[in-house]
A and B are shown apart, each in its own frame.
Chain A
């Protein structure tokens, strides 16, 4: 059975060009970049090039790039560094819809006595900028806001928010894991101090990430050890993956145009036709500015895990914000923060596309999903055919 992969916000396929670039570093070119001899030194040169490639997609300079093991490490490093360099500041500002790498860390820090303010969002997922502004205080050590939401694709005005933080002398971090390669970023001309990237969200392998730290920002390392990354992150470089991430950034920059036209068109068609074919469905965050590849659709009166497993029978991969999928008993914290009613939140499905998706795949999904929804609604005690509301009426 063919896999129809539409879960690219979870992880992505390693691009063939990326695999080709990294392969020598898994075979012949295994030297340690810190070694004195040419065999290692040459690898250091390739890492330098990768660093430049990453810096280039961010509009940053190479010395501002720290390679890490993943997006979560980058997020943790940013927050912990701000707290340890921030003297006695005990306050963190973040949002209600952050990734667990920030959200759960902040919960832990709250137990240690830090004060955490989670800025709410409205029903479309927009950040409450008034509350944000009011909560920036002289005690605030750092602001951390995601650039684009992984579940809904809703984009936060991080550049504007960063300026407000800078005006008050507060460090600003953004988790840009979902944004890089989809949204043009120019850090030279922004007030963002730190930014996290994850390799496997943009067609590099898992196990590599980046933390951008603006030149002149006070920094305290999270992983302590050797002199690697200029003493800012200990541990022998994950050479193959770093090379891969460099290549992936170069590719992503070239493909941004295609993402914004062809992939967006695929997403729009998938979204529009699903809504047309399936009554009582709606897009979560549909009224906000969103990532071009993501659509989060709720199908009323049914439950998401059942939808995913029936799609799985056809090889269709997507994810859901339902309670049952997550392993917790409550639906996604993002959808709850947006006030999506429970009748809708349990039946949410996220499709996230990439440049590797095709028109045929969208046709296939459009063909298979409506009968799945109908089947499950047929089993549901809440579904009455007369309660049908067409998408255009909601």
Chain B
């Protein structure tokens, strides 16, 4: 049995605003019986753009009914601009939270709201955007990416909880995984701009001169940059360092650590024996 909050139970047992608004001027219908839940939202918006009345009809489980009931309560008295900003998390939050497997009920609420608002503006019925990814529940890549972005989702399971995509035959799990990495990549700006080889060599030289050589010279040693091949930094040690037993430690702990920190995280320092 699902663990519902008291607020969910209360809205399920005593749904507010069930039915249809007469002479509604904003109507949003989403979902289908095949998918297991559906929501029809009817609104009456006055001349000043304030939502005077809101009602719902739902086919679905307890949390779908409670989410729709909550949404209508949230909408009443709001301006269209305010209504537009209501997110699915806010619907779930109004109810004190939903079980994670039931988050798609709040998403359904948000989708019905979007549909009703565009219906009010007289926008033509939106054609389905994007490509169907989940055949079982008819969910498109656009919808999945949106859910990933807005709810910061990172696994197939979470995507299923929010959109239902992937909850049937599971054939689309690989595609969903790709969509997750795609959105992740868009979001995290590349940590470091790629360095050209010339830039890399120049930065290594500068770092050695400024950060490394002075401390080696204090101990009577020195270091010389021989070459840079990809991420391999070839160096030779001079003076005290050349005969010092701990020069290997110096190279990894001091030289390599500094270069990784200041130039490029994947650099490997190798000593060239002459």
- Whether a CB of chain B sits under 8 angstroms from the CB of A306 is yes
- Whether a CB of chain A sits under 8 angstroms from the CB of B97 is no
> What is the minimal beta-carbon distance from B126 to any residue of chain A, in angstroms?
19
| A342-B62 in contact given A306-B12, A330-B136 (Cβ < 8 Å) | no
Pair A343/B61 contact, Cβ less than 8 Å: no
> What is the minimal beta-carbon distance from B41 to any residue of chain A, in angstroms?
10
> What is the minimal beta-carbon distance from A246 to any residue of chain B, in angstroms?
32
- Whether a CB of chain A sits under 8 angstroms from the CB of B221 is no
Q: Which of B31-39, B148-156, B185-193, B226-234 contacts A (4 or more CB under 8 A)?
A: B31-39
What 4 additional pairs, Cβ within 8 angstroms, besides A303-B36, A303-B59, A329-B167? A303-B61, A306-B60, A331-B36, A379-B58
Out of A309, A322, A327, A380, name the residue touching B101 (CB < 8 Å). Answer: A327
Which residues of A from 304 to 332 have beta carbons under 8 Å from B? 304-306, 309-310, 313, 322-325, 327-331
**CB-CB < 8 A to B38: which residues of A?**
381-382
The contact sample of 11 A-B pairs, CB cut-off 8 A, is A301-B33, A301-B59, A303-B64, A309-B12, A309-B62, A328-B167, A330-B36, A330-B168, A379-B65, A381-B29, A382-B38
Pair B15/A305 contact, Cβ less than 8 Å: no
> What is the minimal beta-carbon distance from B24 to any residue of chain A, in angstroms?
13
Report the bound CA distance from A305 to B167 in whole Å: 18
Report the bound CA distance from A346 to B164 in whole Å: 15
| A302-B59 in contact given A322-B36, A381-B39 (Cβ < 8 Å) | yes
CB-based nearest A residue for B38: A381
Pair A329/B168 contact, Cβ less than 8 Å: yes
Report the bound CA distance from A148 to B13 in whole Å: 36
Pair B58/A380 contact, Cβ less than 8 Å: yes
> What is the minimal beta-carbon distance from A329 to any residue of chain B, in angstroms?
3
- Whether a CB of chain A sits under 8 angstroms from the CB of B83 is no
**Interface bracket on B:** 20 to 34
Pair A381/B57 contact, Cβ less than 8 Å: yes
> What is the minimal beta-carbon distance from A357 to any residue of chain B, in angstroms?
22
- Whether a CB of chain B sits under 8 angstroms from the CB of A378 is yes
**CB-CB < 8 A to A313: which residues of B?**
13
Out of A310, A329, A380, A381, name the residue touching B36 (CB < 8 Å). Answer: A329
Out of A302, A309, A322, A379, name the residue touching B15 (CB < 8 Å). Answer: A379
- Whether a CB of chain A sits under 8 angstroms from the CB of B173 is no
Pair B101/A381 contact, Cβ less than 8 Å: no
Report the bound CA distance from A378 to B160 in whole Å: 29
Pair B101/A306 contact, Cβ less than 8 Å: no
Pair B18/A342 contact, Cβ less than 8 Å: no
Which residues of A from 156 to 195 have beta carbons under 8 Å from B? none
CB-based nearest A residue for B56: A379
**CB-CB < 8 A to A325: which residues of B?**
61
Pair B136/A306 contact, Cβ less than 8 Å: no
Pair A346/B13 contact, Cβ less than 8 Å: no
Which residues from chain B sit less than 8 Å from chain A, CB to CB?
A: 2, 9, 12-13, 15, 18-19, 29, 33-34, 36-40, 57-62, 64-65, 101, 136-137, 160, 164, 167-168
**CB-CB < 8 A to B164: which residues of A?**
329
Pair A324/B59 contact, Cβ less than 8 Å: no
**CB-CB < 8 A to B34: which residues of A?**
342
CB-based nearest A residue for B4: A309
**CB-CB < 8 A to B65: which residues of A?**
306, 379
Which residues of A from 340 to 354 have beta carbons under 8 Å from B? 342-343, 346
> What is the minimal beta-carbon distance from B26 to any residue of chain A, in angstroms?
16
**CB-CB < 8 A to B12: which residues of A?**
306, 309
CB-based nearest B residue for A328: B167
**CB-CB < 8 A to B60: which residues of A?**
303, 306, 324
**CB-CB < 8 A to B18: which residues of A?**
378-379
> What is the minimal beta-carbon distance from B236 to any residue of chain A, in angstroms?
55
Out of A306, A328, A331, A380, name the residue touching B62 (CB < 8 Å). Answer: A306
Pair B33/A342 contact, Cβ less than 8 Å: yes
CB-based nearest A residue for B33: A343
| A380-B136 in contact given A313-B13, A343-B33 (Cβ < 8 Å) | no
Pair B61/A382 contact, Cβ less than 8 Å: no
**CB-CB < 8 A to B39: which residues of A?**
381
**CB-CB < 8 A to A380: which residues of B?**
57-59
> What is the minimal beta-carbon distance from B140 to any residue of chain A, in angstroms?
17
**CB-CB < 8 A to B19: which residues of A?**
378
**CB-CB < 8 A to B36: which residues of A?**
303, 322-324, 329-331, 342, 346
Report the bound CA distance from A323 to B168 in whole Å: 10
Report the bound CA distance from A142 to B178 in whole Å: 40
Out of A304, A328, A330, A346, name the residue touching B33 (CB < 8 Å). Answer: A346
